[in-house]
Amino acid sequence: MDAKDILGLPKAPLSLPQEKKSRPPKDSQRKPDGISREVYALTGGIAPLMPAIDISQWKRRAQSENQKEYALKISTTLTLPLQITWQWLPFTSSARKDNLQLYHWVRVVNGVPPTGDYSFAKYNKSVDVIKYTDEEYEKYLTDPTWTKEETDQLFDLCQQFDLRFVVVADRFQSSRTVEELKNRYYSVSRALLTARAVSPADVSGHPLIKEPYNLSQEIERKRALSMVLSQTKHQERRDAEVLAEAKRISESRMAAKASVFFLFFSLILAVQEPEFPVTLRVDPEIAGDSSPPNIPYPSGTVAPPVAETASVSASLRMLRVYLRTYALEQMVQAASSSAGLRTIKRVEQTLQDLGVNLKPKVPTKAVCAEHLELRKEILTLLNLQKQ
């Protein structure tokens, strides 16, 4: 409010937000009275921090402006020559073939009714269904699977229903599928276009010629669509999983240099998946001579932590490259696999109480080994305490 002192304006009461105590504090940003909401929004919506004008003065000014506006309106209607009345008048529409005359309310200005066509007539669109003579039919349009009567009826219905094939199919005498009807309609139209054209080049740009209707493809497409629509959630999920797996496999394929490496890679991928048990014997030369052979870890049985971490280290050795933190995660998971979720939480709580980071900040080989040992010791301690 120092700025106000500087400007020499009297201190604004700014009592509006304070008076209305029942309103929430957010209302300090409410628009001041005396000015319409939309106009206020034009100026940015929120009151300026430093109102340039004293608010009470503003209020008075705004009110007087409103009064002036209203006075203007009244005066013009009474004095200016702008007379508006509403009359019940007849009208016709160019969209109708008969000369039906209907009535509606019309806004008449100074005694002059509006001219022009019915405003909605322009929306009466129709399709140009091609028409053929009998001669043309004999020459170009005969088909073993369609009689002339059927074709005639098809075209009549198409004209009547603006190419709404589903309706046409419903009304059609003999039972034909929508695709068959479409096929007949489009091939007849196409044949007629080509026949009537001066030269084939003329019509080559026409969409009917450029992209001809393909019956078998359409049937297949619709079948596939309905299959997708009727898929259960379970199937959807399975499809997504298979696609993701395929993507992963094809990506790893691209990284391979030769077919030998490719084989190795797909096996490595299998090992990296946490769910996959380590039962693979990749290359006897690589995995074979070191001390413990791969211990198969059949799912369902609970192997002791020692055996599990040994199998994890064996599986890690089969990777080409990995991060120390990844190795530690795998080891921790293996060591805690026999423990329930609550026990694991208690291990983590103990670590925190001891002032140790749950994930080592400096995961060197030694640090990770110590961390793992510490976790195992805590686990043993907790298990002993339970007994």
Partner 1 sequence: CSNKRVKDSEICVPIVYGSMSFWLGKKATESQSHKWTVYVRGATNEDLGVVIKCVVFQLHSSFSNPVRVVESPPFEVSECGWGEFEIVISLFFRSDVCDKQLDLYHHLKLYSGDESIPQSTKKPMVVEYYNEIVFPDPSKDFFSRVHNHPATIVPRLPGALNLPLVALEDVLEKKKGDTKDHPLSQWFFNFSEADELLALAAARQQV
The helix (run of H) or strand (run of E) holding residue 104 is strand 102-109
CA angle, residues 323, 328, 334, in degrees to nearest 5: 130
* CB-facing half-sphere around the CA of 365: CA atoms within 13 A: 1
Q: How many CB atoms are located within 10 Å of the residue 180 CB?
A: 18
Residue 384 binds partner 1 (CB under 8 A): no
Residue 323 binds partner 1 (CB under 8 A): yes
Contacts of 107 (CB under 8 A, 6+ apart): 84, 86, 114
Q: Give whichever of 188 and 368 is closer to partner 1, judged by the CB atom.
A: 368
Provide the minimum distance between the beta carbon of 72 and partner 1 in the complex, in angstroms, as a whole number: 44
Q: Are 80 and 109 in contact (CB under 8 A)?
A: no
Rounded CA-CA distance 359/370 in Å is: 12
Give 312's strand partners.
none
- In the block, tokens 């298979």 appear at 242
Indicate the length of the chain as a whole number: 387
Task: State which of residues 366, 385, 386, 387 lies at the interface with partner 1 (CB under 8 A).
Answer: 366
Residues in region 261-300 near partner 1 by CB under 8 A? 261, 265, 268, 283, 285-286, 289-290
Q: How many CB atoms are located within 10 Å of the residue 23 CB?
A: 12
Question: Near partner 1 by CB under 8 A, which window of 77-85, 109-117, 148-156, 253-261?
Answer: 253-261
Residues that contact partner 1, how many (by CB under 8 A):
42
Question: Near partner 1 by CB under 8 A, which window of 87-95, 142-150, 216-224, 311-319?
Answer: 311-319
Q: Are 178 and 215 in contact (CB under 8 A)?
A: no
Question: Near partner 1 by CB under 8 A, which window of 143-151, 165-173, 211-219, 322-330?
Answer: 322-330
Question: Near partner 1 by CB under 8 A, which window of 2-10, 13-21, 335-343, 365-373?
Answer: 365-373
Question: Near partner 1 by CB under 8 A, which window of 76-84, 86-94, 170-178, 312-320?
Answer: 312-320
Task: State which of residues 30, 31, 324, 346 lies at the interface with partner 1 (CB under 8 A).
Answer: 324
Residue 327 binds partner 1 (CB under 8 A): yes
Residues near partner 1 (CB under 8 A) are 255, 257, 261, 265, 268, 283, 285-286, 289-290, 316-325, 327, 350-351, 354-357, 360-367, 370-371, 373-374, 377-378, 381
